[in-house]
């Protein structure tokens, strides 16, 4: 059995809004609403879903960049969810983040070498007189030249800027790196180079990635395990191959059906599932399954009762009343690719 680096249990992140009127109740946005998953050391765990599904907020909560309302985030013997002050500051060297936008995530007034060195200075990592050498090593690791440490961010291309972001994330020698849509702002060819770089660095340094994306093609390329989120909850989780070959949740099936294909034969024969309506409000949640109002297979039980996230015999986790214990789903036998 692989070792778990991070274990998340019943994670909730709720954002209270302003009251409507002096005596009205305070509305609450249920951004993340009871999420469980484990990150195995040295592997890549993907969170996917539409905008507003809660995947980025989940990642920010693991990073302790948003306030955790309830639940547990354990990294080894450390409980991150309740850490504060100096204890949290010291723990931050163990988890770092690669941001979505390589243009806005780098300080334009700092030279590239100083950007990569900054985490080491802030966290007191290594001896001060060895940090510049460490920066040059990191530049080489991500495919940049040592002399480029003296350049400013505007003197790099988008792909090179993201490599600086990767080098900065590596500076503290973290166990976990959260990748928040790290290639969505890059050209397709540069996306592939960046993903290949991340995979090489993972093998070289034994990194663990929590990978956030709405692009299923990217997720299929890099992730080992994938969890699909809908309206603040995980509705399906399994390994990459199983998810793309045999999705069980109707929402996952609909997402996969929308993936474009370069194969003309697939494009002509594929059945596209068009979901009707919009997701429910995260403030006023439905009583049953949160996907029931948009599901083409929904039955009465779906609107009345919340489906638990249960694990089938093969380890496939699913939250759907209509999937039986043998993994038979209502859409099986229908094309979605």
- Give the CATH number of the domain where residue 116 resides: 3.40.50.300
Statement to judge: residues 59 and 202 lie in one domain: yes
pLDDT of 25: 77
Closest CA to 317 of 34, 36, 51, 70: 36
Count how many domains the chain has.
2
The SS3 of residue 219 is: helix
Statement to judge: residues 174 and 262 lie in one domain: no
pLDDT of 277: 75
Statement to judge: residues 158 and 11 lie in one domain: yes
The last residue of a domain, from among 192, 214, 245: 245
- pTM, two decimals, is 0.90
Give the strand pairing for 70-75 and 28-40.
unpaired
The last residue of a domain, from among 245, 264, 299: 245
The CA distance from 240 to 242, in Å, is 6
Residue range(s) defining the domain that contains residue 289: 246-337
pLDDT of 193: 92
pLDDT tens for the chain, 337 residues long, are 568 999 999 999 999 988 776 666 788 999 999 999 999 999 999 999 988 899 999 999 999 999 999 999 999 889 999 999 999 988 999 999 999 888 899 999 999 999 999 999 998 888 888 999 999 999 999 999 999 999 999 999 999 999 999 999 999 999 999 999 999 888 888 999 999 999 999 999 999 999 999 889 899 999 999 999 999 999 999 999 999 999 999 999 999 987 654 444 444 445 566 677 788 889 989 999 999 999 989 999 999 999 999 999 889 999 999 999 999 998 876 654 4
CA distances from 57 to 17, 163, 229, 231 (A): 17, 24, 11, 11
pLDDT of 263: 42
Which residue's structure tokens are 């969505």?
Answer: 184
- Report which DSSP code applies to 329: -
* Main-chain phi, psi angles of 139, to 5 degrees: -60, -45
Statement to judge: residues 125 and 52 lie in one domain: yes
- Environment class of 267 (CB within 10 Å of its CB; exposed 0-12, middle 13-18, buried 19+): exposed
Statement to judge: residues 189 and 331 lie in one domain: no
Statement to judge: residues 132 and 93 lie in one domain: yes
The last residue of a domain, from among 191, 214, 245: 245
């Amino acid at each position: 059995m692989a070792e778990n680096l991070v274990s998340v249990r019943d994670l909730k992140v709720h954002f209270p809004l302003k009251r409507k009127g002096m005596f009205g109740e305070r509305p609450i946005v249920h951004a993340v609403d009871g999420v469980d998953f484990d990150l195995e050391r040295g592997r890549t765990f993907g969170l996917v879903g539409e905008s507003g599904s809660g995947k980025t907020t989940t990642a920010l909560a693991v990073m302790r960049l948003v306030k955790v309302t309830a639940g547990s985030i354990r990294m080894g013997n450390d409980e991150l969810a309740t850490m504060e002050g100096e204890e949290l500051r010291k723990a931050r060297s163990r988890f770092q983040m690669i941001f979505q936008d390589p243009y806005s995530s780098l300080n334009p007034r700092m030279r590239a070498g100083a950007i990569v060195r900054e985490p080491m200075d802030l966290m007191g990592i290594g001896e001060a007189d060895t940090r510049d050498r460490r920066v040059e090593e990191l530049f080489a690791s991500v495919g940049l030249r040592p002399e480029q440490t003296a350049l400013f961010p505007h003197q790099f291309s988008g792909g090179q800027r993201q490599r600086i972001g990767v080098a900065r994330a590596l500076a503290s020698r973290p166990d976990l790196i959260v990748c928040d849509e790290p290639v969505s702002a890059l050209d397709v060819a540069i996306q592939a180079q960046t993903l290949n770089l991340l995979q090489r660095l993972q093998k070289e340094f034994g990194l663990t990635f929590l990978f956030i994306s709405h692009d299923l093609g990217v997720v299929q390329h890099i992730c080992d395990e994938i969890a699909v989120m809908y309206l603040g909850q995980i509705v399906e989780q399994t390994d990459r191959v199983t998810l793309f070959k045999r999705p069980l949740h109707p929402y996952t099936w609909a997402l996969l059906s929308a993936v474009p294909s370069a194969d003309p034969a697939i494009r002509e024969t594929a059945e596209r599932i068009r979901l009707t309506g919009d997701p429910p409000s995260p403030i006023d949640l439905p009583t049953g399954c949160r996907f029931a109002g948009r599901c083409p297979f929904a039955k009465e039980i779906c609107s009345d009762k919340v489906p638990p996230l249960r694990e089938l015999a093969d380890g496939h986790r699913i939250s759907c009343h209509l999937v039986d214990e043998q993994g038979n789903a209502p859409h099986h036998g229908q094309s979605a690719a």
